[in-house]
Amino acid sequence: MRHRREVKGVTITKFAQFIILVTISLLLAGCNMPVPSAGNSSSEIPAYAVTPVLREFYTNLGSERYLGPPISAGFEYQGATCQYTANALMCMNPSETDPVKTLLSGIAWEQPECC
């Protein structure tokens, strides 16, 4: 026996009621989603300054134009001072000699197709 319910002259099955309830729930769930703004506000993306140890390296490589803005604070990794930018990871180890003293690693560049 099918479970039916009549609402204002229209017969609705339990399955149809369930589908309607799920649809309404999904539509309402999207109402609480944050809407991204066109501009970056300080509450959305924290602003970081280039770590003083890496400032000259960052400037010599084209600063924000090529590397993008800093997206992390500076941090220590295996004796080197490192910092992420939008397009790269910069590291400098003052105890090493050139050219090993500085490291630039791409993080957002497309990988070339290989053989």
By C-alpha distance, which of 87, 88, 86 is closest to 103? 88
Residue 49 above 90 pLDDT? yes
With 50 as the cut, is the pLDDT of residue 100 above it? yes
Helices (H), 12-83: 14-29, 55-60, 63-67
Which of 8-12, 15-19, 89-93, 102-106 is the least confident region? 8-12
Mean pLDDT across 49-68:
90
Q: Other CB atoms closer than 10 Å to residue 103's CB: what's the count? A: 17
Q: Which residues pair with 10 in a beta bridge?
A: 7
Residue 89 has pLDDT above 80, yes or no: yes
Task: Check pLDDT > 90 for residue 108.
Answer: no
The whole-number pLDDT of residue 87 equals 86
Residues 51, 83: contact at Cβ < 8 Å? yes
Look at residues 49, 106, 60, 51 and name the one whose alpha carbon lies nearest to residue 80: 51
